[in-house]
Structure 1
Amino acid sequence: MLRVATFNVNGIRATQRRGFDDWLRRREVDVAALQEVRCPVPLLPSGAFADYHLAYDAGQLAGRNGVAVLTREQPAAIRSWGAGVLVRAPGDAHVELSEPAESGPLARELKAFATEGRYLEVDLADQPLTVASLYLPEGGLPAELQVPGRMREAPDGGAKFERKMRFLAGFARHLTRARRTALASGREFLVMGDFNVARSRQDLKNWRTSNRSEGFLPQEREWFDSILSPRSLVDVQRALHPDVDGPYSWWSWLGNAFTNDTGWRIDYHLASPRLAKVARSAVTDREPTASERLSDHAAVVVDYDL
């Protein structure tokens, strides 16, 4: 059995102080995809990744983004969008960056994101599987939905929304190529991470009032539907739990959102069909109380019978 997790840690240093090390040891995952590591390479906390091999693209935006993949064995290959990546063995204190192989010609829409620390993929050495970690842009509202005084931020004319839509357009093509490349080399494909989109009404608590909110806009949900099919990629957790609401994986820090389970499911395992068919369980590691939270996200852990 291969246990695989995706976890937006919302800052590895803060999450480690809250108990990330204990979670990693207790869950005994074989592979973990992390998002929003948000830490310069020289400041990575000592011992945070236990006995795992680390591949980490910190990006070039100070204090933002950053994706990583933890594996039991040294990966057979590591690919990025062109930025330098830290590759470190367990106990290795070195901080030099390596130049991994690029993940193929980058879609033109993604070139503006190449140094932001948003995507990293590895080929496992001990399983015929390619694993990717993704942190998709949060986005914003289209211009026609922006009302001054009713927004958390100043209106931007739809700039963040358009930027996210450009990412989605390029990433759809990237996923197709990455999946086909993996299959052509005899590997299954799994992309995990924070997609910053709730797919359907089942995936957020207050869906009735969220149709005009970023992350649940019709354009975003249509895009998500377009990348899924029985022959391309499968939402593993929803396939295993088709009739439940959630389970949610993100809750605001504000108010009683966590206590009341007023959340969103925005963290996913999307697997090639043959891999999805051998998924045996999918669990969201929601902490018992708000005071025990490690992050504003919860890890999504899936067991694959390989």
Structure 2
Amino acid sequence: MSSSLRVASYNVNGIRAAHRRGFGEWLARRDPDVVALQEVRAPAAAIPEGAFGGLHCVYEPGQIPGRNGVAVLTREAPTAVRTWDGTAVVIAPGQEQHVVEAPPGTLARGISRYATEGRYVEVDLADRPLTVASLYLPKGGLPAELQKPGRMREAPDGGARYERKMHFMDAFARQLARSRKAALAAGRDFLLMGDLNVAHLEHDVRNWRRARQSEGFLPEEREWIDAIIGPRTLVDVLRSHVGPADGPYSWWSWMGEAFAKDVGWRIDYHLATPRLARTAVAAGVDREPSADARVSDHAPVVVDYAT
């Protein structure tokens, strides 16, 4: 094999709203071969007609109305699908839909607690020895000792959201190792994409000093990223490609002038096995030219692999 593969990860913040705002135009213009979506947030039957162009879609909607939902779009129907609850919705070009079995194998300890939340789906591509996964990791919250009433947008919860996120990350690290090793044992590379709701380095947050006591940039969250990446396991493709520069960011608050002033965070990732990561020839974030043109509060992370 010696052909290029354009792959994107995109938290669309609701496919119905994204479709109205121009997701289809982006899809047609960039013409990706594979797209990992997060926060699709729609029943399968409510996905707008033609939302995915001519691509096949494997969708894990979860069972929480209006929340979460992850998908992988591909040019050809994948040869295998895996989700944590064992089923997925397949949407073929033309909008024909059906439910398929998507057995995950043995789940790692702790993951079954999240199986119905629509946070993870993985597929084996039909035209390349590659497993592609889409993840939406919980946003979380602050530990109890950092919660100060009057200085938080959300009501203090005693650290419950923080504890839940940390439990998820602990369980997912074990599940991720299983998925990566299973792909490699079958002769496939592995690519995890998605919204991890964690910025790894100081380069990944515009106002990083202020963010050190914010969810998504806590030391223990950043250490978790340290633990799941490495030169022999998974490579942060965008950071590896652009080097030690500020950004490019992939998320900006809707509030104020965060987008106009590029006060953003990089929380959307391509994490690839080393052999695949080495083939990346271009990597970047498709930041819209103006706030009025935004499709989502996230922008897609796009990588061209010379596979």
TM-score by length of 1: 0.98
Partner of 2:91: 88
The one-letter amino acid paired with 2:81 is I
Contact 2:86 2:103 in 1 (8 A): no
Partner of 1:223: 224
Does residue 1:67 correspond to 2:70, yes or no? yes
Please state how far the C-alpha of 1:88 moved relative to its aligned partner. 2.0
RMSD: 0.8
The one-letter amino acid paired with 2:19 is Q
- Aligned equivalents of 1:92 and 1:159: distance in 2? 40
Residue among 85, 95, 101 paired with 1:99: 101
- Aligned equivalents of 1:37 and 1:88: distance in 2? 14
- Aligned equivalents of 1:119 and 1:93: distance in 2? 22
Partner of 1:140: 141
Please state how far the C-alpha of 1:243 moved relative to its aligned partner. 2.1
Contact 2:109 2:174 in 1 (8 A): no
Contact 1:83 1:115 in 2 (8 A): no
- Aligned equivalents of 2:88 and 2:110: distance in 1? 22
- Aligned equivalents of 1:248 and 1:56: distance in 2? 26
Secondary structure, aligned partner of 1:87: strand
Please state how far the C-alpha of 1:89 moved relative to its aligned partner. 1.5
Secondary structure, aligned partner of 1:255: coil
Contact 1:59 1:83 in 2 (8 A): no
The one-letter amino acid paired with 2:213 is R
The one-letter amino acid paired with 2:248 is P
- Map residues 275-290 of structure 1 onto 2, 5 A cutoff: 275-290=276-291
Query: Please, which moves more after superposition, 145-154 or 67-76?
Result: 145-154
Partner of 2:151: 150
Partner of 1:124: 125
The one-letter amino acid paired with 1:210 is A
Partner of 2:36: 33
- Aligned equivalents of 1:71 and 1:46: distance in 2? 17
- Aligned equivalents of 1:216 and 1:153: distance in 2? 17
Does residue 1:170 correspond to 2:175, yes or no? no
The one-letter amino acid paired with 2:39 is E
Q: Which string of whole-angstrom CA distances, capped at 9 and with x for unpartnered residues, describes residues 56-105 of structure 1?
A: 000011001000000000101000001531112211433x3222122x22
TM-score by length of 2: 0.98
Contact 2:56 2:73 in 1 (8 A): yes
Please state how far the C-alpha of 1:280 moved relative to its aligned partner. 0.7
- Between the aligned residues of both structures, percent identity stands at 63
Secondary structure, aligned partner of 1:46: coil
The one-letter amino acid paired with 1:127 is R
Secondary structure, aligned partner of 2:59: strand
- Give structure 2 stretches of 5+ with no counterpart: none
- Aligned equivalents of 2:103 and 2:62: distance in 1? 16
Please state how far the C-alpha of 1:41 moved relative to its aligned partner. 1.2
Secondary structure, aligned partner of 1:193: strand
- Give structure 1 stretches of 5+ with no counterpart: none
- Map residues 176-187 of structure 1 onto 2, 5 A cutoff: 176-187=177-188
Residue among 23, 40, 50 paired with 2:26: 23
Q: Which string of whole-angstrom CA distances, capped at 9 and with x for unpartnered residues, describes residues 239-289 of structure 1?
A: 011121110000000000000000000000000010000111101000000
Q: Which string of whole-angstrom CA distances, capped at 9 and with x for unpartnered residues, describes residues 218-254 of structure 1?
A: 0100011011110000000000111211100000000
- Aligned equivalents of 1:152 and 1:281: distance in 2? 38
Partner of 1:50: 53
